[in-house]
Structure formats: structure tokens, C-alpha cells
A and B are shown apart, each in its own frame.
Chain A
Amino acid sequence: MHVPEQLRDAVVIGAGLAGLRAAVDLERAGCDVLVLEARDRIGGRAWSGVAEDGSTIDFGGQWLGPGQTRALALAEATGMEVFPTWVAGANVELREGERLEYSGLIPTADPDASIEVVTAMLDLDLLGLDVPVGAPWEHEDAALLDAETMATWLDRNLASPVSRGIVEVALQAVFGVNSDELSVLFVLAYLHGGGGLTNLTRTTGGAQERRMDAGAGALAAHLAKKLHGRIELDAPVDRIEWDATGVTVHVVGRSVPVTARRAVLALSPILAERIALDPEVPQRHALAAGMTMGRVRKVHARYARPFWRERGLSGQLISTNGSISSTFDNSPSDGTSGALVGFIAGRDYDATADLTDDARRNLVLDELACAFGPEARLATEYHEVDWPAEEWTGGGPVAVMQPGVLTRVGDALRRPIGPVHLAGTETALEWCGYLEGALESGERAAAEVVASLALTKGSEEG
């Protein structure tokens, strides 16, 4: 029998933005809280590094947009500069070996296809408004919508392969998977919470509108500082024993478990499945089994200067062939050096996963050269983050639901398991999958814990 440490008010598992937000809120409410993090760093999917020229590289989530009030406020609190994503100039579309330039959100070379795309995106956005974000299974057609994949929805609603290709790229960019891996009901709820697919794919006026000069990692660092060292790194949890009174949390390699009256599990539901709950919760197994983590490789190519701007190009690319499906100008705010960020997602991720690092780098730089000119091959620095290979995330940008999951076990996503409360961007009502969603979920989980501890205290005082 292990002798536990002191009984804490709460233990938070996961030091991503959700876990850190929850922990800071709990501490503010007067709780004795400890954060356990499996990695040797904080931040989870909010992870930044430094390029050779000293500017920030965001390896994970990086953009802020209108309506993301928590993330914007937190960025402001750090004192860092928040600046608009560079959008001036023409966007590029690569389609079946052709290079086309366009302005606005949707490639315009084929107006019929463009209009079909706008109409389909509007249809999805309007359908999404009817789906209750907190309880999608209550929609009157929930069973039908949850039985269908986005692939069959697109087949029914888009006649042209060109428009189909553009929407597929949009879904890949947002979810990191392809349309045949997504439940329509899940997508509609997700779109409702994020202001619609049009909003999620937009730069100015949408989810990619602004960037942070110190990176998303600075948001995590700002929160962590408020916890005065109450974060233990290299502390992967493999088992939680729970009953009505609290939790006993077992950390791999440690003989003494952590005990607390409440726990916050701030992980994606898929990753959380690696932690055995005792007693078991079968619904959680079903939830994890029905979810898929996005598969995205985030690519950074850095240059002496943003040469594409001199050619009148914005750095934005949509490609329906090749490995990279989208890129953005990711240069520092002062433009003293250049950077392009791109995403290899879903099936494109699968198709390029077995290439050697050199082969994939050459492939990516060749595609960038097709889009922006031969100078793109002359990257001074090149970074890739293979999110599915990140042991303590398992993919990115978000875990998605296959058909049949939301209506069967969707209510297990946020419902506390006794004293164990659930956070993580996947559990957010709004901006699920985004930095904002992570913060919202942490805030909500902390409020649940504070309320339940107050109730317990009240009944003890009687």
C-alpha cells in the first residue's frame, strides 16, 4: 500500500493551455493545486521555439481571430505584440499542374466552381447554426447527420471536382483529416462554435487574422508563471483511482501517488485513454475509439527576406495537388526576414510520412517554388513538426469524430467522471480545436471544480 502525499484540493493532468488555465483559475479561487505534465515542457499544442535569426517559430497553434476574446486578452496580458497576418498581394492556387493567382477567400479561376464552393460553405454554416453546440445530439436530424460522412455530403452538394477539391483542402486545413473521416453532425457543431467554415478559413476577419510575436508558447509561459512552480514536468500519469471523495493519481515511475479531492483531465479524449480509470468508464473507451486525431505536419521555410511580397504575392497558397495543401506568410512583423508556414495534412500526411526527411524537404520546397518562384528553394532554415509523432499529443490540430460517435457517446465528452473534470480544446463549446477553445475549456472545468468543492464543503459544514 502506497502512502499518499498530502491531500490537495485539485490535481490538473496536462500543462497545455487548458490545464494551465484551469490551474490558474483554481489557485485564484483559493485551491491547493498541482499540475502534472508528461512532457519536459509546458504548452501542449501551444509550443514555440526560436529561429536562427532570433524570431519566434510557432510549432503548433499560432493564430488569433475576432471573437477569440480569452486568447486575445491573454495575449494582451503578456505584453507581446499581436499583429495582422500578412495578406497583401495575390494568393496562389496550384491545381493539376497549373498555377493560378486569385484574390479573396476562394480561388476564382473557375467561377462556376467558386460559386459552388461559396454556396456549399454557406449551406454548412447555416446548417451549423441549427446544431446546439453543447448538445448536438439534440438536433432533430441528429441521427441522420451523424450517420453521414462529410465525403458523402460533399458528393451530394458539389458537382464539380474543382469545387470538391477546394472544400476538401479547407476541411484538411481545419481538421487535419479528410472528409471521409468526419461526421457531418460533428462538423456542423464545430462550425457553429467557430463562427462557420467561412470564418475558420479566412485570414483577415477570420481565424487566421492575427499572430503573436512571442508565439503561442508565451501564452502558456504567462499562465505557468502564475502557478509559482506548482507544475511537475516529466510526470506522465498512467492510472487514476477515483471515488466520490476524490482521486489517487499514479505517475509512471513514482511510488507515491498524488491525492486530491478533484482532478482536471486536460487532454484530448484520445490521449486520455492512455490513463486507466479505476473504476473504468466504458463510455470513455467508446468515445476515444470513435475519435481520430488530426494528422498534420507543420512546415516552416525561412528566407533572408519575404521575396514573394516583391512579386506581389501574399504567401497564401491553396493546393489541391502535391503534399502541402495551404501556406501563409509567417514572416516576423517587421518583415526583416521571410517565413512561409505550410501544412501537410490528412491523406497528404499519410502519403509523405515514409519519405526521408531530405526527400520531403525537397518536395515541399519544390512545391513552394512552383507557387512563389525559384527562390523558395533557397530556404535558410527549414523546420517540420510531425504532430502525430508527438507522443504526448498524438496528432493535431484537433481530435475529430467519426460518424455515430456524437449521438452515441457525445455526452461523455464534457460530463465529469465523479471527481474527475474534463478539459482540453476538444471539450470546448466555442472555438473547439483552437487556443481559445483550450482556454474556454480550462475555465469551465475550473469553475465546475470550484462549485463542486464548495458544495462538498457546504455539506460538510452542514
Chain B
Amino acid sequence: MASTDEIIEAYGEWQSRSNANDRLRKMLRGWDRVVIVETTDTHERLTITVVDQTLTDIVVGAPEMVDLVVTGTSEDFCDMFWGDLNPSEKYISGEIVIHGAQADVMRLDAMSMVAFLDQ
């Protein structure tokens, strides 16, 4: 089990890698979204916002209006953000679940493949 602080620290690594990744930023063009990370074991909700092709800092808590909700264990989120775990494999195995519009889910799935390939 990972603490909220550990998730936030790991996300910081993911955020700086992603924001420095031109190919990933290209995929984010025109895709401003509010994404909630929801942990199934620690019951934490954290918010990531994508604005102007940039991932913002992760924030504890969730607004009412969201585009995507990504659910998984705190450990998996930590490993995923550190780059130790392929998020796409966790998604297709059903261990990470994404709720949202089909197009947004497809894009997040593809983005996670690119982010993992590029690290």
C-alpha cells in the first residue's frame, strides 16, 4: 500500500517526464481534461488536469465535474508513475479501470502506451 504522499512524489516524476515528451504533448493537443485518480485500497481521490498539452500538479480531492476516473491500487499508481509498470497492461488486465467517454478512454490508453515506450 502506498501513501498519498508517495503517489504525489511518483506523479511528480511522471509529470516532468510527460511534460518534456514532445510526442506525448502532441497527442494531448486539443485534449483538455480533468482526470481523477481513485485508489481502491486507501480510498483516496486525486485530481490531474490536462491544460494546453501540459499535465498540472496532482491535487488531493476531486471536483464535481470530471472527464475520466482511473481506478486502481495505490501501489499500482505509484509503480505506474515511477515508470516501473506498464499502465496499458494493467488496464487491459482489468486491474486499472477507466471510466469516461470511449474516445477519452482510447486516448488515455494510447497515451499510456506512448509514455511507457518513450521512457
A interface residues, Cβ below 8 angstroms from B: 103-106, 108, 111, 114-115, 118-119, 121-122, 125-126, 129, 196, 198, 202, 204-206
Q: Quick one: closest B residue to A108, CB to CB? A: B117
Chain-A contact segment, one of B1-9, B53-61, B75-83, B101-109:
B101-109
Known A114-B117, A129-B102; judge A205-B93 contact (CB<8 A).
Answer: yes
A/B interface sample: 28 pairs, CB < 8 A? A103-B89, A104-B86, A104-B88, A104-B89, A105-B88, A105-B113, A106-B113, A106-B117, A111-B117, A115-B23, A115-B118, A118-B110, A118-B113, A118-B117, A119-B23, A121-B110, A122-B106, A122-B110, A126-B107, A129-B103, A129-B106, A198-B110, A202-B92, A204-B92, A205-B91, A205-B92, A205-B93, A205-B94
Is B66 in contact with chain A by the CB < 8 A criterion?
no
B114 within 8 A of A: yes
Q: Contacts A104-B86, A104-B88, A205-B94: A119 and B114 contacting too (C-beta < 8 A)?
A: yes
Tell me the bound Cα distance from A122 to B86 in angstroms. 18
Bound Cα distance A198, B112 (Å): 13
Given contacts A105-B88, A106-B117, A118-B110, 10 further A-B contacts (CB under 8 A): A103-B86, A104-B89, A105-B113, A111-B117, A114-B117, A126-B107, A129-B106, A196-B106, A202-B92, A205-B93
Which residues on the B side are within 8 Å of A206 (C-beta)? Answer: 92
* A103, A118, A126, A196: the one within 8 Å of B114 (CB): A118
Contacts of A108 in B (CB 8 A): 117
State how many angstroms separate the Cβ of B111 from the closest Cβ of chain A.
8
Q: How far is the CB of A316 from chain B (nearest CB, A)?
A: 14
Taking a contact as CB atoms under 8 Å apart, the answer to whether A125 and B118 are in contact is no
Also in contact, A198 and B23, with CB within 8 A (given A104-B89, A206-B92): no
In the complex, A366 Cα to B110 Cα: how many Å?
Answer: 34
Interface residues of B in 4-37 (CB under 8 A from A): 23, 27
Are A122 and B88 neighbours in the complex by a CB distance under 8 Å? no
Measured between beta carbons, the chain B residues less than 8 angstroms from A125 are: 106
Candidate in B23, B88, B91, B110 with the most chain A CB atoms within 10 angstroms: B110
B114 — which chain A residues lie within 8 A by C-beta?
Answer: 115, 118-119
> What 6 pairs between A and B have smallest CB-CB spacing?
A205-B92, A122-B110, A118-B113, A204-B92, A125-B106, A114-B117
Residues of B within 8 A of A204 (CB): 89, 92-93
